[in-house]
Amino acid sequence: MNKEINIMDFKNIKVLITGGAGFIGSNLAIEFVKRGAIVSIFDNLDPHSGGNIFNLEQISDKVKIYFNDLLNFDSLVNAIINQDIIINCAASTSHPFSMKEPLIDLDVNSRGVLNLLEAIRRFNPKTKLIHIGTSTQLGHLIYKPGDEKHPEFPTDIYSANKSVSEKYVLIYSKAYRIDATVVRLSNTYGPRASIHSSDFTFNNFFIGLALQNKEITVYGDGKQLRNTIFIEDAANAILLIAQKKETNGETYFIVGDKHYSVAEIAETTIRIIGKGKVKHIAWPREREATEIGDAVLSNAKIKNIIKWAPIIDLEEGLYRTNQYFSTCFDKYLR
């Protein structure tokens, strides 16, 4: 990386966030700006990726925005030159959409990442790259808790392409000595999430329904376990990774300590946020085919390396999320 940095001080550090108008990217942008970084955003506001320009409102005068996508190599090169840190949050995030439009998903989630890696290799090989992956790459767990050594058997095209793109990042890191780290997130929720569609994680969609006092639909008995993490905890881990050389060439799960059933998440969301109710229905065939069962995951590796731990539990996270959306909910109904 071009400059030495400290978690509390990114003053004059140049940071590029691809997909920076989305949920994860915008929250990271705000945290970097708070710490004095010079932040640029690269985003095409693709509706399948959750980009929302309102996410950047509080820092709109403090960031440079490139409105383009990862498939435009020349624009990408222009954006990555001289950046000290690049965080790749750009992705088409919908599991169902990836099954309907696999080639679009391939372009965004695999080819786009190769474009980014090639741009870095040729024009800014000294940068620090953090690539955002997903826990769903593992598919059905063959042992619990799943960790970074668990085999990967993805059950949908999105998860498969995220798995492949992660491997591209690790290959470039080793072959071309690029400082790169892969972060796998799981059901991240909180302020600035896309809450209007189930395409953007089920728990954020539950939040959107609860905010409207609508019924939350749970498939089957909803007993399958899920890991959730509040965005502030996830962002803190990523900022720490940005300063740690020992994270280069590695993959980490950034996930919460606790696991909740889908039904429990729905019921807690209603209790903290809304006045609706939870309704159980039979599994739709197309969703049952890609369901992975329990997703019990370990965060032991990341805790060991950067001495990080999540501190915000589900109830507190939902309370904070409710506070945020109560003042700007209309900006997220689309």
Give the 3-state secondary structure of residue 259: strand
In this predicted structure, the answer to whether residue 211 has a pLDDT above a threshold of 70 is yes
Residue pointed to by tokens 């708070």: 34
| Burial category of 12 from C-beta neighbours within 10 Å (exposed 0-12, middle 13-18, buried 19 and up) | exposed
Q: What band does 205 get if pLDDT is binned at 50, 70 and 90? A: very high
Percent of the chain with pLDDT strictly greater than 90: 84
Mean pLDDT of 228-245: 95
Handedness of CA 34, 66, 159, 318 (dihedral sign): positive
In this predicted structure, the answer to whether residue 241 has a pLDDT above a threshold of 60 is yes
Is the Cβ–Cβ distance between 239 and 32 less than 8 Å?
yes
Q: Which fold has domain 14-193+228-257+296-311?
A: Rossmann fold (3.40.50)
Q: What CA–CA distance (Å, rounded) separates 6 from 240?
A: 8
Tell me: the pLDDT tens digits for 134-160? 999 999 999 999 999 999 999 999 999
Give the 3-state secondary structure of residue 6: strand
Cis peptide bond prior to 102, omega within 30° of 0: no
In this predicted structure, the answer to whether residue 28 has a pLDDT above a threshold of 60 is yes
Of the candidates 191, 186, 205, 134, the residue with the CA atom closest to the CA atom of residue 163: 134
201: Cβ contacts below 8 Å, ≥ 6 apart: 93, 187, 188, 189, 193
Radius of gyration of the chain (CA): 19
pLDDT of residue 3: 57
Give whole-number Cα distances, 179 to 54, 208, 246, 267, in Å: 32, 38, 10, 42
Tell me: the pLDDT tens digits for 123-140? 999 999 999 999 999 999
In this predicted structure, the answer to whether residue 7 has a pLDDT above a threshold of 70 is no
In this predicted structure, the answer to whether residue 327 has a pLDDT above a threshold of 60 is yes
In this predicted structure, the answer to whether residue 194 has a pLDDT above a threshold of 80 is yes
- 259 beta partners: 227
| Burial category of 78 from C-beta neighbours within 10 Å (exposed 0-12, middle 13-18, buried 19 and up) | middle
Tell me: the pLDDT tens digits for 261-319? 999 999 999 999 987 889 998 888 777 777 777 889 999 999 999 989 999 999 999 99
* Joined tokens for residue 295: 């997703």
Mean pLDDT of 1-22: 82
Tell me: the pLDDT tens digits for 39-82? 999 999 987 788 999 999 999 999 999 999 999 999 999 999 99
Is the Cβ–Cβ distance between 242 and 132 less than 8 Å?
no
| Burial category of 149 from C-beta neighbours within 10 Å (exposed 0-12, middle 13-18, buried 19 and up) | exposed
